[in-house]
Structure 1
Amino acid sequence: MSLRLPSEIVVERFLPTARAMLATELHDRGFTQKEVADRLGLTQAAVSKYLRGDVTVEDRFAEDERMAATVEAIAEGFADGSMDGYEALSELLDLVRVFEDRGPICAVHEEEMPALDGLGCDLCVRGTDDAVLAEREALAAVRRAARRIANEPGMAEHVPNVGTNVGTAVPDAADPTDVAAVPGRLQAVNGRVVLPADPEFGASQRVAETIRAATAVDPETRGALNLATSEGLLAAARDRGIDPLAFDADYEERGERLRERFRDRGAVPRVAYHEGAFGIEPVTYVFGETATEAAALAVDLAESARTE
């Protein structure tokens, strides 16, 4: 009996197909061969080989709509700067898991190792670990949100002196370690927003406290970020039909007081703010289902504030 591991199918069949498709997609978008090589971690000679079609492409992978969609999403992300290598790898790994779950990788594996035929890939698929998946999604949401804030022109003027942080909680977050945020916070430096590190769980006490206050009232609101309070931002929110909620700036028992304010409102607002106190800088929180959604609204409000 031939003995083949699914990882061999990934390396020998899936990876060359993915690289060939990505090289072609990036080249079609105007990337030079050197730029493609840098993005994919290949030599320029290897990229030239992929572009010439001098590799064996597995049609069962290349013709799958999920493969085409993933390749297009990665190429678009590389082109507009919204995706880095870490996220591209995450997208490909997710696709591999899908293909291994009674998908085309499973089909090729059964073909090359007939003893597996009819076993339903039970050797490879053990079910989804929901907790791990939720953590990965929370970290990904914070990465996207932080990069959105850092890459958006003009956002530096809305970063408070204490810095901006963005966070996303996993479902049923019990304490700050269940909230992903950016260690060290995003800081404004020479008119730019600097992202100091990749997100981690337990990296922000204040944002975690605010998000957990929100989830206590609305479990679907698991993302938030903080900006400097300004009339421009609050006016932009009101122009969109958002009624910003004012709350007390004091830190003592802030989480519980926020819960009470949210319950009094009957919902978690998209925008909540305080005007500061002695030793406490005025801060506005923008909420969303994830940090990514909160960041999109924050950027929209900042753009409107600049044009008013």
Structure 2
Amino acid sequence: MSLVVPSELVVDRFLPTVRAMLATRLAEHGLTQQEIAAELGVTQAAVSKYIGGESGGDDRFRDDPETVATVDRIADGLAGDEMDGYDALAELLSLVRSLEDRGPICELHEEVMPELQGLGCDLCVRGLDPDVRAERDVLANVRTAARTLASIPSMAGNIPNVGTNVGMCLPDPRDETDVAAVPGRIYAMNGRIEIPANPEFGASKHVSTAVLAANSVDSEIRGAINIATDDDLLEAARTMGIDPLEFDADYEDRGAHLRSRFADQGRVPAVAYHRGAFGIEPATYVFGATAADAANRIETLLTESSSL
């Protein structure tokens, strides 16, 4: 794991680029290299390199409209004596905070720390917020569940034509934006499982409906995965002591229908299925305390069904 603090990137990549941009703008305003050096707090030799284009830097900052606008504003203010060093520093600090909030600094941070990719990380902005930790844990759990499905040899044959998705909600979810799933769903391609993207919150309406319905009846159930309905798998569930619950496929409000069926049973079953309807492919939902638990349950069910 490469442990990189965002401030390192500010010092190593952002500041040299912005200083070079400022040096060029101030030179265009007619300041001498010595005057520019005094404004920037660097040597005259450094200013010479900045103006000569020898300083390197990072084009993502040079091309960023907000950075360009801030540099222009600071250069105009310093050259016109309308801004002092304190004002310029305030502008730069504000810019850094903005660029850390899903901006170029955040993008660069994800490049040098791949572990952050797909987490929707805003640690720099929000700090060690318990809500952020909960979101991160849910996203990580859904990724683990998706990888588990991809590792099951017989899983490809149990992916419905519409695709499979993995869902898990935050504690006390309000709506589908509190449910993480895989954007675009998981498909079987040439006998292999294809996971198109890292999980995101609000990425799937269908699996969210099942997750939210289950969680409203039993708050301990936060994960669900849809697979194709298969009689051998249902029989395997019964062999394992699981009583699959059948529900109707063609209810307009499936969430309300599922909540009603679960409430009638007084519990959320580990497996719930329907046989399809006109234009609706048969589907089975496997539930768990987490998405990873649901994936492990599917693996066990498929192993058991293969022995029937």
TM-score range, shorter chain: 0.5 to 0.7
CA RMSD of aligned residues (A): 2.7
Contact preservation (8 Å) 2:118, 2:199: no
Q: What is the match of residue 216 of structure 1?
A: 216
Q: Which secondary structure does the structure 1 equivalent of 2:215 belong to? A: helix
Q: What is the match of residue 191 of structure 2?
A: 191
- Give me the whole-angstrom Cα distance separating, in 2, the residues matched to 1:184 and 1:306: 29
- Give me the whole-angstrom Cα distance separating, in 2, the residues matched to 1:87 and 1:159: 29
Deviation at 1:178, TM superposition (A): 0.6
Deviation at 1:306, TM superposition (A): 1.7
Residue segments in structure 2 that go unaligned for 5+ positions in a row? 9-113
Q: What is the match of residue 30 of structure 1?
A: none
- Give me the whole-angstrom Cα distance separating, in 2, the residues matched to 1:198 and 1:280: 27
Find out whether 1:86 has 2:115 as its counterpart: yes
Q: What is the match of residue 182 of structure 2?
A: 182
- Give me the whole-angstrom Cα distance separating, in 2, the residues matched to 1:159 and 1:302: 12
Deviation at 1:86, TM superposition (A): 3.0
Contact preservation (8 Å) 1:165, 1:181: yes
Q: What is the match of residue 242 of structure 2?
A: 242
Q: 1:131 to 1:302 in 2, by over 3 A?
A: same
Contact preservation (8 Å) 1:142, 1:292: yes
Q: Which secondary structure does the structure 2 equivalent of 1:157 belong to? A: helix
The amino acid of 2:156's aligned partner reads A
Q: What is the match of residue 158 of structure 2?
A: 158
TM-score, scaled to structure 2 = 0.60
Q: Which secondary structure does the structure 2 equivalent of 1:213 belong to? A: helix
Q: What is the match of residue 143 of structure 1?
A: 143
- Give me the whole-angstrom Cα distance separating, in 1, the residues matched to 2:263 and 2:256: 11
The amino acid of 1:145's aligned partner reads A
Q: Which secondary structure does the structure 2 equivalent of 1:269 belong to? A: coil
Q: What is the match of residue 272 of structure 1?
A: 272
Q: What is the match of residue 262 of structure 1?
A: 262
Q: 1:88 to 1:135 in 2, by over 3 A?
A: closer
- Give me the whole-angstrom Cα distance separating, in 2, the residues matched to 1:224 and 1:172: 16
Contact preservation (8 Å) 1:273, 1:283: yes
Residue segments in structure 1 that go unaligned for 5+ positions in a row? 1-5, 11-84, 91-96, 98-125
- Give me the whole-angstrom Cα distance separating, in 2, the residues matched to 1:232 and 1:297: 15
Q: What is the match of residue 285 of structure 1?
A: 285
- Give me the whole-angstrom Cα distance separating, in 1, the residues matched to 2:164 and 2:300: 16
Deviation at 1:199, TM superposition (A): 0.3
Find out whether 1:167 has 2:196 as its counterpart: no
The amino acid of 1:151's aligned partner reads S
Q: 1:203 to 1:235 in 2, by over 3 A?
A: same
Q: Which secondary structure does the structure 1 equivalent of 2:168 belong to? A: strand
Q: What is the match of residue 206 of structure 1?
A: 206
Cα deviation, 1:52-79, whole Å, max 9, x if unaligned, reads: xxxxxxxxxxxxxxxxxxxxxxxxxxxx
Q: Which secondary structure does the structure 1 equivalent of 2:183 belong to? A: coil
Answer with 1 or 2: which has the greater Rg: 2
- Give me the whole-angstrom Cα distance separating, in 2, the residues matched to 1:284 and 1:193: 18
- Give me the whole-angstrom Cα distance separating, in 2, the residues matched to 1:255 and 1:89: 28
Which 4+ runs in 1 deviate beyond 6 A?
87-90
Cα deviation, 1:15-41, whole Å, max 9, x if unaligned, reads: xxxxxxxxxxxxxxxxxxxxxxxxxxx
- Give me the whole-angstrom Cα distance separating, in 2, the residues matched to 1:198 and 1:88: 8
Contact preservation (8 Å) 1:158, 1:302: no
Q: Which secondary structure does the structure 1 equivalent of 2:180 belong to? A: strand
Contact preservation (8 Å) 2:118, 2:198: no
Map 1:10-29 → 2, pairs under 5 A: none
Deviation at 1:193, TM superposition (A): 1.1
Cα deviation, 1:170-202, whole Å, max 9, x if unaligned, reads: 011111111000001110111111111100111
Deviation at 1:134, TM superposition (A): 1.1
- Give me the whole-angstrom Cα distance separating, in 2, the residues matched to 1:212 and 1:88: 27
- Give me the whole-angstrom Cα distance separating, in 1, the residues matched to 2:221 and 2:283: 19
